């Protein structure tokens, strides 16, 4: 039987067993500073080159293009396309800007897309390790390589978003604000902070006997919700769903009445009641507000617990990073607390 032992979240021996994973999370802000600092000269070069003329369109190529789409779609003043397949749209050419995130640098499909962009004479900016397969194909007069080294998708994206911000193709993406937001979460969710004042440990306890339903209203918060759900499934092996309000409401409405005498840990194969986790990045859009009200009213009517994770960081990217790291910490503490008899 698997059960959740919350005392492990403050136990030095148990925390030591998770030290590497927790330390990796704590260093998120440092990785952002490192990637942006190491790429500063290349970013300046790319900005100078892009300032000559605004591109007809921006194409984000490669499997990590969806993160750029989530950030850029609401702000980009020219047509924007996310193209995760190992190629480019047939119309892409010398008038277009192709941006590529390849934090690992070993994906053959991404390398093909980069080579195709260079062959067509596209403006090309690639964030990838200097000695990688992808970097080998980022050649040509109009290609700029932003050298990365940490393998961190978020840190790599922040370096690229800093470039796009400076050429007025994306929202404000101050790397230091993102790093500070990540540092603030790392301090608040530190393993050395007691359960009573540690929001990530408290969230993990709330998820221990439940099936999480994770919702983020804005495009970026919704992406953070999907990433947190993935982390929760990976660390616990349990069901965790992320989706729009219309996808989560049926699950909430189907929740069985709570049995106050039930032991949630008596049968690990038994049904777990849902818990609604709302990731709030401060977006006050009327549609987002309406969906949130519907979810909260549905949860209240069916006695489904609601947990809130919010961020007051400066900037859309910083708030996304903050919500994502907070949820990832909670997933790691959930892993730590689950024990098998």
| CATH number for the domain harbouring residue 250 | 3.40.50.10490
Alpha carbons 173 and 159: distance in angstroms, whole number: 9
Under the banding of pLDDT at 50, 70 and 90, the label for residue 284 is confident
Is the same domain home to 93 and 136?
yes
Whole-model pTM? Answer: 0.92
Q: Cα dist. 25→83, 235, 255 in Å?
A: 29, 14, 34
In a domain? residue 35: no
In a domain? residue 47: no
Q: With beta carbons less than 8 A apart as the criterion, state whether 174 and 315 touch.
A: yes
Q: Cα dist. 119→75, 140, 300 in Å?
A: 29, 8, 57
Is the same domain home to 225 and 133?
no
pLDDT in tens, 248-276: 999 999 988 776 666 655 555 456 899 99
Is the same domain home to 65 and 117?
yes
In a domain? residue 329: yes
Residue that is last in its domain, among 135, 158, 173: 173
Residue 172 CB partners (closer than 8 Å, separation 6+): 165, 315, 316
Is the same domain home to 239 and 335?
yes
Domain interval for residue 127 = 53-173
Residue that is last in its domain, among 173, 192, 217: 173
In a domain? residue 306: yes
Is the same domain home to 106 and 139?
yes
Is the same domain home to 157 and 184?
no
How many domains does the chain contain in total? 2
**3-state secondary structure at position 246:** helix
Is the same domain home to 229 and 82?
no
In a domain? residue 250: yes
Please tell me the predicted confidence (pLDDT) of residue 96.
95
In a domain? residue 264: no
C-alpha dihedral sign at 170, 176, 181, 186: positive
Residue 1 CB partners (closer than 8 Å, separation 6+): 265, 267, 268, 340, 341
Q: What is the mean pLDDT of residues 328-336?
A: 97
Residue 264 has which token pair?
């949630």
In a domain? residue 39: no
The residues facing 126 across adjacent strands are: 100, 145
Q: Given the structure tokens 């919704």, which residue do they identify?
A: 222
In the chain, how long is the greatest CA-to-CA distance?
Answer: 71
Is the same domain home to 225 and 162?
no
Q: Would you tell me how many other CB atoms lie within 10 Å of the CB of residue 259?
A: 9
Tell me which residue of 150, 282, 165, 174 sits closest to 220, measured CA to CA: 282
Alpha carbons 204 and 208: distance in angstroms, whole number: 6
Alpha carbons 151 and 104: distance in angstroms, whole number: 5
In a domain? residue 138: yes
Is the same domain home to 226 and 336?
yes
Is the same domain home to 184 and 317?
yes
Is the same domain home to 146 and 194?
no
pLDDT in tens, 129-187: 999 999 999 988 889 999 999 999 999 999 999 999 999 999 888 999 999 999 999 99
Please tell me the predicted confidence (pLDDT) of residue 52.
73
Is the same domain home to 58 and 91?
yes
Residue that is last in its domain, among 173, 190, 213: 173
End-to-end CA distance of the chain: 5
């Amino acid at each position: 039987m698997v059960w959740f032992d919350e005392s492990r979240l403050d136990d030095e021996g148990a925390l030591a067993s998770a030290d590497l994973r927790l330390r990796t999370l704590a260093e998120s802000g440092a990785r952002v500073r490192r990637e942006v600092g190491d790429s500063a000269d290349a970013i300046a070069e790319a900005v100078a080159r892009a300032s000559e003329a605004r591109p007809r369109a921006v194409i984000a190529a490669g499997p990590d293009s969806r993160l750029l789409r989530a950030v850029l779609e609401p702000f980009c003043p020219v047509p924007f396309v996310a193209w995760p397949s190992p190629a480019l749209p047939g119309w892409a050419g010398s008038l277009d800007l192709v941006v590529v995130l390849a934090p690992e640098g070993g994906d053959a499909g991404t390398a093909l897309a980069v080579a195709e962009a260079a062959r067509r004479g596209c403006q090309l900016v690639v964030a990838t390790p200097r000695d990688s397969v992808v970097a080998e194909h980022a050649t040509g007069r109009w290609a700029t390589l932003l050298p990365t080294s940490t393998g961190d998708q978020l840190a790599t994206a922040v370096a690229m978003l800093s470039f796009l911000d400076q050429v007025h193709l994306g929202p404000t993406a101050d790397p230091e604000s993102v790093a500070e937001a990540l540092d603030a979460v790392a301090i608040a969710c530190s393993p050395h902070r007691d359960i009573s004042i540690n929001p990530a440990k408290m969230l993990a306890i709330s998820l221990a006997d439940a099936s999480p339903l994770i919702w983020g209203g804005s495009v970026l918060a919704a992406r953070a919700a999907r990433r947190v759900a993935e982390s929760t499934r990976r660390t616990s092996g349990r069901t965790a769903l992320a989706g729009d309000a219309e996808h989560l409401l049926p699950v909430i409405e189907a929740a069985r009445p709570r049995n106050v005498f039930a032991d949630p840990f008596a049968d690990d194969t038994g049904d777990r009641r849902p818990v609604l986790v709302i990731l709030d990045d401060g977006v006050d859009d009327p549609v987002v507000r309406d969906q949130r009200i519907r979810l909260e009213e549905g949860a209240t009517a069916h006695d489904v617990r609601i947990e809130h994770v919010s961020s007051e960081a400066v900037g859309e990217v910083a708030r996304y990073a903050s919500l994502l790291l907070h949820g990832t910490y909670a997933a790691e503490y959930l892993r730590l607390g689950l024990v098998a008899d």
